[in-house]
Chain A
Amino acid sequence: MKDTAYPLEIPNLLRGEVKSIERWLRSGHPHASASPLVMVLVGSALYGASIGLWRSPLQAGFAAIKFPSVIILTTLGTALLNGMLAPLLGLNIRFRESLGAILASFAIASLVLGALSPVAFFLAWNMVPLGEIPSAGSNVHAWVKLFHVGSIGLAGVAAHVRLWQLLKKLAGSRAVAFRVLGSWLATNLFLGSQFIWILRPFIGAPWLPVEFLRPDAFRGSFFETVFHDVLQLIS
């Protein structure tokens, strides 16, 4: 079984056909991981470009590189921990399989985002350019951000519903699947938020230059910023 590569087919993945995904997951062939990786790279790069395009074509190019980078870096950064948490929480899967399951869920999210990217491109094309928005009296920025938050949220929900189904099948228990999913989600969100912070900007700001990384990219953390914003609000 290990010598045969079972590619992860997009329709099977999106439909959440657990048998097919499980067969892919267990195959262990090095080429097998290529298919979700390509889905992540293409889908999220397209969506990243659509986010940055509102600022400028160069920003679109930068975001097309950075958006998949966030996903890949987060997957790799949490791989070791997630691989340990699964057996500790009762799911007997190998390190490679836990990495594959997470990659597959990110592939679903990327496919959803990739599919929404034409809409996002259309939205960016129809909006007043970011550099020409008047400083006050316009809620265009808020609407665009709302669209992106909604799209990313939708992709996240779809990905996690499918991952939940897969984990439930693998674990044979809802409680174990719930624990593993919860722990993986927490670690991925924790590190992913920081990678998004480091790799900012994605949309960009009209009063700041277009650049790949901000000069202070490695200064502060996402959570410190949120904490101090909350403190400012309540003080």
Chain B
Amino acid sequence: MTPNDVSLPPPLPPVDGGAPAPEVPIQGVFSAMEALLRRPADLWSHLRKPGAGATILALIGIAALCMGVYGIVIGTFAGGDQLWAAPLKVVLGLLISALICLPSLYIFACLGGAKTKLSEVVGLLAGLLALMTILLVGFAPIAWIFGQSTDSLGWMGFLHLGFWAVALGFALRFFFAGFRVLGQGGGAGLKAWMILFALVMVQMTTALRPILGQAPTFLPPEKRFFLSHWTQHLKEPSPAGAEGQRGAPAGAQPAR
């Protein structure tokens, strides 16, 4: 998905068939969630107005809360300490990734010709995170069912990655459309940033491992690039429904 091939979300037809609904003020967490899902145009417009800071904070709060909920679902796979460690890690990972990528987003967007303020960029990024995590909460019951049914770390890792990719796809759609509305483009700069952001988030899952399985330490003792970590994990024998992966004693398996 790129800024050029993403169109604005289709206008939502009014329920009663009448004229389009007027802009609704965004106040509070639930109003922001509603706007993210149903009235993105209201949200983009709100980001330009004074007092958008509270909405941005609400969006960040939504992102942290929803990611925490999804993290608990991730933690139920291994249980034990992961019930608190996994949500903590994914929430921190998400916020740190966003913080790491924020400067590059602003610079790349400006390089691409976007005419937005930093506060608007922060608002759009917060909206991206919030929408992505709201969708992940939607996936949570499905992830939980599969997590209770399988012992395979590889399968669950693949599943979570798939859910994250779908959620990120929808969130980027919102994000790019918002940029087009607020900043008149962003072009190649945003394309590059999108790849960077995805890579940072994926690497964060390796840097903060284990998130899904268990390991003797809270954080990994050795540093590794995510590609080499995944390649190594895939090379290890992992028969279908192999026993002892999910609840294996600490240290009995590689950190993931």
- B133-157: CB near A (< 8 Å → 1, else 0) gives 0110111111001101111100100
Contacts of B38 in A (CB 8 A): 87, 92
* Total count of chain B residues near the partner, CB < 8 A: 29
Quote the shortest CB–CB distance from B53 to chain A (angstroms).
26
- Interface: A131 (CB within 8 A): no
- Interface: B170 (CB within 8 A): yes
- Interface: A12 (CB within 8 A): no
* Total count of chain A residues near the partner, CB < 8 A: 38
Which residues 1-31 of B have a CB within 8 angstroms of A? 9-15
- Interface: A118 (CB within 8 A): no
- Interface: A15 (CB within 8 A): no
Q: List 11 A-B contacts (CB under 8 A).
A: A90-B12, A173-B10, A191-B142, A191-B145, A194-B145, A194-B149, A218-B149, A220-B150, A220-B152, A224-B240, A227-B240
Which residues 96-153 of B have a CB within 8 angstroms of A? 134-135, 137-142, 145-146, 148-152
- Interface: B54 (CB within 8 A): no
Contacts of B149 in A (CB 8 A): 194, 197-198, 218-221
Known: A87-B38, A92-B15, A218-B148. 18 other contacts (CB 8 A): A80-B137, A81-B139, A81-B142, A84-B135, A88-B9, A88-B37, A88-B135, A90-B10, A171-B13, A172-B13, A187-B142, A198-B149, A219-B149, A219-B151, A220-B150, A220-B241, A223-B155, A225-B240
Contacts of B37 in A (CB 8 A): 84, 87-88
Main secondary structure of the interface of B (DSSP, over half): helix
- Interface: A78 (CB within 8 A): yes
Instruction: Tell me which of B11, B138, B140, B148 has the highest count of chain A C-beta atoms within 10 A of its own C-beta.
Output: B138
Main secondary structure of the interface of A (DSSP, over half): helix
Take A220-B149, A221-B155, A225-B240 as given contacts and tell me if A80 and B141 are in contact as well, using a CB distance cutoff of 8 Å: yes
Quote the shortest CB–CB distance from B49 to chain A (angstroms).
23
Partner of B152, one of A84, A90, A173, A224: A224
Contacts of A123 in B (CB 8 A): none
Closest 6 CB pairs of A and B: A81-B138, A90-B10, A92-B12, A220-B241, A87-B38, A228-B240
CA distance A195 to B9 in the complex (A): 33
CA distance A93 to B148 in the complex (A): 32
CA distance A85 to B15 in the complex (A): 17
Which residues 202-252 of B have a CB within 8 angstroms of A? 240-241
- A63-91: CB near B (< 8 Å → 1, else 0) gives 00000000000001110111111011111
With both beta carbons as reference points, the residue of chain B lying nearest to A78 in the complex is identified as B142
Take A87-B38, A194-B145, A194-B146 as given contacts and tell me if A81 and B152 are in contact as well, using a CB distance cutoff of 8 Å: no
Which residues 184-228 of A have a CB within 8 angstroms of B? 187, 190-191, 194-195, 197-198, 218-221, 223-225, 227-228
With both beta carbons as reference points, the residue of chain A lying nearest to B171 in the complex is identified as A88
CA distance A137 to B146 in the complex (A): 38
